[in-house]
A = this chain, B = another copy of it.
């Protein structure tokens, strides 16, 4: 059923019905209710393509994933939060999977040119992220989940990675640990750099020196956690504590500790910093202090909120931390 037919059923013009449905003020309350009622009854929903063509807005936002492998549990949680918020405004989420960074940019270009989305969300930023310049130049609005260095102003939403790791490190140091290992994220990623700085800051504040051999970078996988931890344990001077950057690397690190015949909690203390995983219980880290959870789901909700405002034209006031 289309507007024409639907409005004829109501004995009203298309214009009035359209206005009633879109919440414009110049329609009598009584009329509006009658229209809404009929829409429910007949199950009328305006054709989204037609709306898009007439308004120039797609009513959707885009997210591009690279390799599909970025599609981990962090992402899942994030999407859940984001989707919940966007649902309220009737905005859909368009997903694209892509193989390279080059292809990612091409996708943005396509999405923008074909007007499939009104904005995109960027994730997994690197320290120098060319997407900012690209999208700015393209004129496609975006919000970055995370942060990067940029001369251009841009919207972003980030958590305090620096503070979280600084706090965790400080906690261990205050317990008397002087040899603390750190399994950090991939080198080049902004959050990893920030965490690194937090790690160092905690040391500096206490007059401790950082042993560079106790620092490791890599993906947040079980595998990488194992490899890095195993490496630390082979050092002449083993660490007495370790901070894992995610639940996954913590699992791997635990395995390495076990394999080495050591006991977690007694021989080595472990702190896992991560966002909430509903399907992995923190109890899995039994002899462990798990700190600083910053629900990534909440971040999704918040970005949804920002998106809403940006699409409404309220384009300012978001160039800062949350």
When the two chains form their complex, are residues B95 and A93 in contact, meaning their CB atoms are under 8 A apart? yes
Whether a CB of chain B sits under 8 angstroms from the CB of A163 is no
Query: Do residues B297 and A109 form an inter-chain contact, with CB atoms below 8 A?
Result: no
**When the two chains form their complex, are residues A223 and B97 in contact, meaning their CB atoms are under 8 A apart?**
no
Which of A1, A45, A279 has most chain B Cβ within 10 Å? A279
| A95 / chain B contacts, CB cutoff of 8 Å | 79, 83, 92-95
A48-B115, A52-B52, A53-B47 as given contacts; A279 in contact with B221, CB under 8 Å: yes
Give per-residue flags for A267-296: 1 if the beta carbon is below 8 A from chain B beta carbons, else 0. Answer: 000000000001111011010000000000
Contact between A281 and B96 (Cβ–Cβ < 8 Å)? no
Q: How many copies of the chain does the oligomer comprise?
A: 2
- A138 nearest CB neighbor, chain B only: B43
Is A65 interfacial (CB-CB < 8 Å)?
Answer: yes
Q: A95-B79, A97-B87 are in contact. Are A46 and B114 (CB under 8 A)?
A: yes
16 A-B residue pairs with CB within 8 Å: A43-B109, A45-B114, A46-B114, A48-B115, A68-B79, A68-B81, A68-B297, A72-B279, A84-B97, A87-B97, A94-B95, A221-B281, A251-B280, A252-B284, A255-B284, A259-B286
